[in-house]
Amino acid sequence: MDPISRLRTHLQSIKKNKVSLSELELIFQAHPCTDEQFAGAILELEADGVDDPLMFAVNPYSITNAVHRHLIVENKTTYQALLQVLTDVPFTTLIFGGGYRVTKSIELLPMQLPLRDPAHEFYYFGDIDKEGIHIWHLFNERVLALFGRPARLALPFYRACLSREFASGKENQRDFEQALQEFLIHFTEEEQIKINGCLAAGGYFPQEILPTHELCTIWRHTAWIT
């Protein structure tokens, strides 16, 4: 049996709604495989059940646009902060990603927001840590497959985070080397050095490092239409 099938069988045997991080660690150790295979097994298992709805807010002033832009943010605090200026920006939706959940629920966008002949552009903003980068990587692959468009990094937000000092507390996160390399190519050499240094030290740049007024100013004043 291949690694993903073994993992899915074991996860299904647990018969729980929630599995703790320590339990997942034990499963990973008992069924050796790559990080990508492990993440894929969990995503496939989730796909077997009822899909979580895609959680988003709609900008009524952009609903008739020829191109529909969507900003996906990883965390609730950032979502709530940006929600207040949604009608001031050229975006159709603000989407709450909720971690890995959005890599599956994005499939529901055409059903939850049925638009005639839509053209989509996706922008993603998450934490700068190994897991956050991996979520973007998986999400990017998913929207490429579904919509034929990449999930662009919302670079003005990321660069604002990089202007701060990173926080500690992510020493135990796994490495996702392919995701990291594809993430880094969007940044300058100086920014890459700062990101690599942060991750090597077990640090991270959380979205919450940016206050509400700065988040809103960035979203309002960036030239997103190019």
The CA distance from 152 to 154, in Å, is 6
Longest Cα–Cα distance of the chain, Å, equals 53
Tokens 């097994």 locate to: 41
pLDDT of residue 26: 64
User: What's the pLDDT at 7?
Assistant: 56
Question: Could you tell me the pTM of the whole model?
Answer: 0.79
- Measured CA angle at 162 (ends 132, 177), to 5 deg: 40
Return the structure tokens found at 136. 């973007």
Residue-wise pLDDT tens digits, 15-59: 444 555 555 566 666 656 666 666 655 555 554 455 689 999 999
Give the range among 42-46, 143-147, 198-202 with minimum mean pLDDT. 42-46
Strands 203-204 and 119-125, by their bridges, are unpaired
- What is the model's pLDDT at position 32? 62
Q: Mean pLDDT in the chain?
A: 86
pLDDT, average across residues 166-195? 95
CA distance 158 to 162: 6
The full set of domain ranges for the chain reads 3-47, 55-221
Q: What is the pLDDT of residue 16?
A: 44
